[in-house]
Amino acid sequence: MTGSGRRLFTAIPDSGRWYMTNLHTSEMLDWLNERDPLKLTGLFRAARACAVEHVGSKVYFRGLIESGNVCEKNCHYCGIRRGNRNFPRYSMTESEILACAREAFEMNYGSVVLQAGERCGPGYSAFIEKIIRGIKTLSGGKIGITLSLGEQSLETYEAWFRAGAHRYLLRIETSNPTLYKNLHPSDHSFEKRLECLRALKSTGYQTGTGVMIGLPGQTCEDLVNDILFFEREDMDMIGMGPYIPHEDAPLPSDGRDIGENFRLGLVMIALARLRLKNVNITAATALQALDPEGREKGVMAGANIIMPNLTPVKYREAYQLYEGKPCLDEDAGESSGGRLDRRIRFAGAQIGYGDWGDSPRFRSRNNGTAGPGKA
CA atoms within 13 A on the CB side of 91: 9
Least distance in Å: CB of 249 to ligand SF4? Answer: 9
Instruction: In angstroms, give the least distance from the CB of 171 to ligand 5AD.
Output: 4
Angstrom distance (rounded) from CA 60 to CA 294: 16
Task: Pick the stretch among 67-75, 257-265, 273-281, 336-344 that binds ligand SF4 (CB under 6 A).
Answer: 67-75
286 binds ligand 5AD, rule: CB under 6 A: yes
- Residue 196 is a binding residue for ligand SF4 (CB under 6 A): no
Beta-strand pair 111-116/144-148: parallel
Rule CB under 6 A: say whether 204 interacts with ligand SF4.
no
User: Please, which of residues 316-335 interact with ligand SF4 by CB under 6 A?
Assistant: 321
In the bound state with ligand 5AD, the residue whose beta carbon lies nearer, of 165 and 244, is: 244
Name the minimum Å distance from CB 152 to ligand SF4. Answer: 12
246 is a site residue for ligand 5AD (CB under 6 A): yes
Report if residue 180 touches ligand 5AD, rule: CB under 6 A: no
Q: Does residue 344 sit in helix, strand or coil?
A: helix
Whichever of 75 and 194 has its CB closer to ligand SF4, that residue is 75
From 42, 110, 208, 241, residue interacting with ligand 5AD (rule: CB under 6 A): 241
| Residue 240 touches which of ligand SF4, ligand 5AD, none (Cβ within 5-8 Å per kind) | none
In 281-311, which positions are buried (b, 16+ CB within 10 angstroms) versus exposed (e)? bbbbbbbbbbbeebbbbbbbbbbbbbbbbbb
Please report whether residue 100 would count as binding ligand SF4 according to CB under 6 A: no
Shortest Cβ 77–ligand 5AD spacing (Å): 4
Quick one: which of 137, 22, 18, 149 has its CA closest to 73?
Answer: 149
Smaller CB separation from ligand SF4, 83 or 360: 83
Residue 12 or 238: which CB sits closer to ligand 5AD? 238
262 near ligand 5AD, rule: CB under 6 A: no
What mask of x and - would describe binding to ligand 5AD in positions 198 to 237, judged by CB under 6 A? --------------x-------------------------
Going by C-alpha positions, the residue among 83, 75, 78, 72 that lies closest to residue 323 is 78
Lay out the site mask for ligand 5AD across 63-82 (x = CB under 6 A, - = otherwise).
--------------xx----
Note the helical H segments in 56-153: 94-106, 122-138
CA distance 28 to 7: 17
Q: What DSSP line would sit under 72-92, residue for residue? A: S---TT-TT-TT--SS---B-
Nearest CB to ligand SF4, comparing residues 89 and 365: 89
- Give the binding range for ligand 5AD (CB under 6 A) out of 24-32, 155-163, 240-248, 342-350: 240-248
- CA separation, residue 288 to residues 68, 235, 315 (Å): 22, 24, 19
Total Cβ atoms within 10 A of residue 9: 12
- For ligand 5AD, the binding residues in 305-324 under the rule CB under 6 A are 321-322
Number of helices (H), then strands (E), belonging to the chain: the values are 15, 12
C-alpha–C-alpha distance, residues 20 and 304, integer Å: 21
How many other C-beta atoms lie within 10 A of the C-beta of residue 365?
14
Q: What is the four-CA torsion angle of 346, 288, 298, 45, rounded to 10 degrees? A: 60
Q: Is residue 193 a contact residue for ligand SF4 (CB under 6 A)? A: no
Q: Are 230 and 352 in contact (CB under 8 A)?
A: no
Is 184 a binding residue for ligand 5AD by CB under 6 A? The answer is no
Per CB under 6 A, residues contacting ligand 5AD are 77-78, 171, 173, 212, 241, 243-244, 246, 286, 321-322
